Amino acid sequence: MAVVDADNMSLGNHAFCKKDYGSAAESYSQALESDSSTCVMEVLQKRCHCYFEAGDYPSALQDANTCIERDPDNIIGYILGGTILAKMKQFENAMGYYKRGLEIDPKNAKINDNLKQLQDDILYSYGNMGDNSTQSTLQMSSQEPYPDDDKLQKEEMEILREWNVLEFPSITVCSSDPKLAEQELSRAKEMLKAGNLEEVITRVVTAVQHDTASFDLWREAASLLHKAGNLKLALQFINVIPEDFRNNEVWRLGGKILAELGIPVTAEHWFRHAIKRNRKDDESQMLFQNVRVKRLYDPLIGGAPVQVQFTQLGRTLIAKEERKPGQILFQDSPVVLSQTLDSMTIPACGHCAKCLMRPEHYFESELLLTDIELKEAVKRYWPIRDQIYCYHCDRMKYCSEKCRDESWEKYHKVICNSNNRYSEALYKVCDEYSTVASMGSKVWSGVWNASYSPMLMAHIWASIICEASRLAEASGNPKPTQAQWALSQAPYRRFIAYGSFSQTKIIPKMFKIMQDMFHNLSEGLSYAITEREFDGRYFQATCNAQAFSDSNPPFKSFVNAIRKNRKYKRIESLCIVEPREATFAGLFPLHACLNHSCVNNIEVLDGMVDGKPGVTVRALMNIKPGDELFTTYIDTQMPKRERRAWLFRAYNFWCSCPRCKFEGDDARTCTHCSKTAEEKKCFPACDYHAGMR
Ligand SMILES: C[S@@+](CC[C@H](N)C(=O)[O-])C[C@H]1O[C@@H](n2cnc3c(N)ncnc32)[C@H](O)[C@@H]1O
């Protein structure tokens, strides 16, 4: 047998037995340098063991990956890779290695044992993540003004002025008599109970006439007027109280009145003051967020039978009308998108997500050349979509010049490697990802842990930068002003952007790549990717992104067309296997308000919106007006403990949906009646729980 440097090999083995892993690894490295034969794999595995035992996990992983690269069916490589990643607490990645191993040897006892251990590790790690409570959405939601809010507030003040509600109310001041004032106020309260609203107003006015100096009285009077529905007079009364004398209650009441009058930005201003005076004032915080979601989302909803509200779960979508299973609730288009890394080899428009697959991607070229009938069918029915490349790089494909030009102006010019020498590093790791993915594992060790593309984050930053520089150019400024930066960031404020741990430590390489990419841009532009910025966008990209595809790809049109023509019955039989479609991850503003439940009442499907790929949200169950709409973020076939753990790890909350409350750890056993659900029907198992939905 040709041996790899036998001396070093046995030196290595000797040191290994003595647990001197450093020396053993060194000897194995020297043995490998001779790189002569079949033993290379064995030495690599042994060195991997040494690195692992010595705690040098990145080097160990490199050896495991080299084993896999040399022999993709090398099951030990997958076991080693999984074990190392589990040790590094990269559980999802570890799972990827083990799953790939099981594809080669489904009954492999070691992998099956390791997988069980991995599940325990996952659950244990979740239980030990420090503060394991769901974060308070109220505390996490910003009350910062939006860009241009100052202008909007000025416009609102004009309206209030026109309504004459900023002036002192026209009352005749009587002799000061606080007692009489109190009596009048009590009568006003009685009148309110009796529903005599006219009389409430008369009494309230009389009350303040007798004690104009008491701001408490003005506040109580305003509160009664608010309850009686006279909003404008109520506002006038509350405005009488000078700012320095307004307490938390006054500001809150003012905010409520303004919100009901449809003066949202000023209402937010009043609620902000209320919260400043009492940080624990949850009511004002909730009211603030509800005013905000109304003004931000109402314009997006159009005629759809839904509305956005703010609840304990944060932004939430509520049905306004009844819907039966299968009926559409709304459709949505992405504000930003990028093709997911695992589908990068499938041609698609990088701007609008249309599939650009051609017959040669589906049929073998030999067949296309020799099968005359197929050739004819393809010529007749396969819709050939244009494939246009970026002017400057061959990375980006588009379906039209319009898409290419829009993409360039909106974000690509900032990250195209013709303009940005640092972007090559990002493209390179994306390419590496596809190599690893082609081995069946969604791993991107040490760099990225999510299945969504980091390109989505890059597109977010690039689009912010392009928009800010466009605004600067339009206003004749050499560089964007702070207000212009804020304005260009505003569309992304609709997407939740917080998580429970910092990603910069977990994927430092990606953090560095993004910092470099956006630090020194052309024309003196620079965007600082701080830790906070990186973490926020990371969670934004992972917690809100929805995967979607072109719902009408060329293959589908082709098959539908040949099905209608009996002549092509044989060709139909060549199209049995559906091709993998290009998948995109997108941020959809309305869809991103959907919260999760393990008993989801809606489903999200691919759909065409204004001629471009987007999403369609459809009822799965009977939905009544006022019902909250729930999607599902995970595979709901998983048992409860796993579901909850995944949700906490990926989305930062502990699910408290009816299923999680009442289902046992085994997804098919009911905690109430212990009955086992039918195969494939996880829950509910009993009528009691069915009624709890
Ligand atoms: C796509 S957003 C959904 C909209 C979100 N409520 C908001 O205010 O933007 C996902 C986030 O919503 C929250 N969330 C969704 N479903 C939840 C649930 N069932 N319980 C608690 N929080 C939930 C979590 O913070 C999660 O990371």
Q: pLDDT tens-digit profile of 89-137?
A: 777 778 778 888 888 888 888 888 888 777 767 666 655 444 455 667 7
Rounded-to-integer distance, Cα 326 and Cα 66, Å: 49
Q: Locate the domains of the chain by residue range.
A: 6-127, 139-319, 339-548, 636-693
> What residue's CA is closest to ligand 1, atom 15?
595
Q: Are the CB atoms for 271 and 255 separated by under 8 Å? A: yes
Residue with tokens 């860009």: 147
139 burial level (CB within 10 Å; 0-12, 13-18, 19+): exposed
Residue 251 is predicted with a pLDDT of 98
> What residue's CA is closest to ligand 1, atom 12?
595
Residue 619 is predicted with a pLDDT of 97
Q: Are the CB atoms for 454 and 497 separated by under 8 Å? A: no
Q: Are the CB atoms for 295 and 305 separated by under 8 Å? A: no
Task: Give the closest residue to 385 by CA, choosing from 93, 127, 582.
Answer: 582
CA Rg value for the chain: 32
Residue 681 is predicted with a pLDDT of 62
Which residues does residue 615 pair with via DSSP β-bridges, in sequence order?
332, 606
Give the end-to-end CA distance of the chain in Å, rounded to a whole number.
68
Spacing, Cα 630 to ligand 1 middle (Å) = 10
| DSSP state letters, 515-579 | HHHHHS-GGG------HHHHHHHHHHHHHH-EEE--SS-HHHHHHHHHHT-GGGHHHHHTT-SPP
Spacing, Cα 596 to ligand 1 middle (Å) = 7
Q: Please, how many CA atoms are within 13 Å of residue 259, restricted to the half-sphere of its CB?
A: 23
Choose one of 317, 595, 646 to mutate for the ligand 1 pocket test, by most ligand atoms within 8 angstroms of C-beta.
595
Residue 420 is predicted with a pLDDT of 93
Residue 129 is predicted with a pLDDT of 46
437 burial level (CB within 10 Å; 0-12, 13-18, 19+): buried
Q: Are the CB atoms for 80 and 93 separated by under 8 Å? A: no
Rounded-to-integer distance, Cα 425 and Cα 405, Å: 24
Which residue has better confidence, 2 or 54?
54
Q: Which two tokens stand for residue 435?
A: 């190599």
Q: Which two tokens stand for residue 424?
A: 């090559």
490 burial level (CB within 10 Å; 0-12, 13-18, 19+): middle
Average pLDDT over residues 271-278: 95
- The torsion of the CA quartet 356, 359, 363, 366, rounded to 10 degrees, works out to -130
Instruction: Report which ligand 1 atom has the smallest distance to the Cα of 544.
Output: 1
Give, in order, the Cα–Cα distances in Å from 438 to each of 397, 432, 434, 441, 481: 21, 10, 6, 7, 45
> What residue's CA is closest to ligand 1, atom 7?
315
ipTM score for this prediction: 0.99
> Which positions ≥6 away from 96 have C-beta within 8 Å?
440, 441, 442, 443
For the chain, percent of residues with pLDDT exceeding 70: 89
Task: Give the closest residue to 600 by CA, choosing from 583, 623, 570.
Answer: 623
Task: Please state the CATH superfamily assignment of the domain spanning residues 139-319 in this structure.
Answer: Tetratricopeptide repeat domain (1.25.40.10)
344 burial level (CB within 10 Å; 0-12, 13-18, 19+): buried
Q: Please, how many CA atoms are within 13 Å of residue 397, restricted to the half-sphere of its CB?
A: 17
> What residue's CA is closest to ligand 1, atom 10?
543
Average pLDDT over residues 373-383: 95
Output the average pLDDT for the chain.
87
Spacing, Cα 544 to ligand 1 middle (Å) = 9
Rounded-to-integer distance, Cα 166 and Cα 583, Å: 55
Quick one: three-class SS letters along 333-362? CCCEEEECHHHCCCCECCCCCCECCCHHHH
Spacing, Cα 313 to ligand 1 middle (Å) = 6
Report the range of poorest mean pLDDT among 279-293, 360-374, 530-544, 638-652.
Answer: 638-652
Spacing, Cα 357 to ligand 1 middle (Å) = 35
> Which positions ≥6 away from 47 have C-beta within 8 Å?
12, 24, 25, 28, 29, 32, 63
Q: 6-127 with 139-319: one CATH topology?
A: yes
| Confidence band of 437 (pLDDT split at 50, 70, 90) | very low
Spacing, Cα 446 to ligand 1 middle (Å) = 27
Residue 440 is predicted with a pLDDT of 40
Q: How far is CA 607 from the centre of its chain?
A: 19
| Confidence band of 378 (pLDDT split at 50, 70, 90) | very high
Spacing, Cα 496 to ligand 1 middle (Å) = 8
Residue with tokens 């001041």: 173
Indicate whether 597 pLDDT > 70. yes
> What residue's CA is closest to ligand 1, atom 23?
313
Average pLDDT over residues 179-201: 94
Instruction: Report which ligand 1 atom has the smallest distance to the Cα of 496.
Output: 9
3-state secondary structure of 201: helix
Q: Are the CB atoms for 64 and 84 separated by under 8 Å? A: yes
> What residue's CA is closest to ligand 1, atom 20?
655
| Confidence band of 670 (pLDDT split at 50, 70, 90) | low
Residue 6 is predicted with a pLDDT of 73
Residue 443 is predicted with a pLDDT of 38
Q: Which two tokens stand for residue 678?
A: 């039918």
Residue 130 is predicted with a pLDDT of 43
Rounded-to-integer distance, Cα 328 and Cα 465, Å: 36
> What residue's CA is closest to ligand 1, atom 19?
596
Residue type, 619: A
Beta strand 397-398 with 546-548: parallel, antiparallel or unpaired? unpaired
Rounded-to-integer distance, Cα 176 and Cα 450, Å: 70
Spacing, Cα 451 to ligand 1 middle (Å) = 19
- The torsion of the CA quartet 371, 375, 378, 381, rounded to 10 degrees, works out to -110
Report the 10 Å Cβ neighbour count for 673: 13
Report the range of poorest mean pLDDT among 268-272, 339-343, 592-596.
Answer: 339-343
Which residue has better confidence, 148 or 402?
402
Beta strand 630-631 with 595-596: parallel, antiparallel or unpaired? parallel
Average pLDDT over residues 58-70: 89
Sign of CA dihedral 585, 588, 593, 598: negative
Rounded-to-integer distance, Cα 405 and Cα 615, Å: 24
Rounded-to-integer distance, Cα 58 and Cα 52, Å: 9
Q: Residue 614: in which H helix or E strand, if any? A: strand 612-619
Q: pLDDT tens-digit profile of 454-463?
A: 899 999 999 9
Count helices and strands in the chain by DSSP H and E runs: 31, 12
434 burial level (CB within 10 Å; 0-12, 13-18, 19+): middle
Rounded-to-integer distance, Cα 259 and Cα 183, Å: 30
Buried b (16+ CB within 10 A) or exposed e, 519-553: eebeeebebebeeebbbbbbbbbbbbbbebbbbbb
Residue with tokens 């001197």: 20
Which residue has better confidence, 72 or 516?
516
> What residue's CA is closest to ligand 1, atom 4?
593
Q: Are the CB atoms for 333 and 588 separated by under 8 Å? A: yes
Spacing, Cα 590 to ligand 1 middle (Å) = 13
Ligand 1: residues with CB < 6 A are: 134, 137, 313-315, 496, 543-544, 592-593, 595-597, 651-653, 655, 657
Q: Report the CATH number of the 6-127 domain.
A: 1.25.40.10
Indicate whether 2 pLDDT > 50. no
Residue 481 is predicted with a pLDDT of 92
Q: Please, how many CA atoms are within 13 Å of residue 192, restricted to the half-sphere of its CB?
A: 21
Spacing, Cα 588 to ligand 1 middle (Å) = 14
Spacing, Cα 650 to ligand 1 middle (Å) = 11
Q: pLDDT tens-digit profile of 490-515?
A: 999 999 887 767 778 777 888 999 99
> What residue's CA is closest to ligand 1, atom 26?
651
Residue 301 is predicted with a pLDDT of 95
Residue 667 is predicted with a pLDDT of 59
3-state secondary structure of 125: helix
Q: Are the CB atoms for 540 and 460 separated by under 8 Å? A: yes
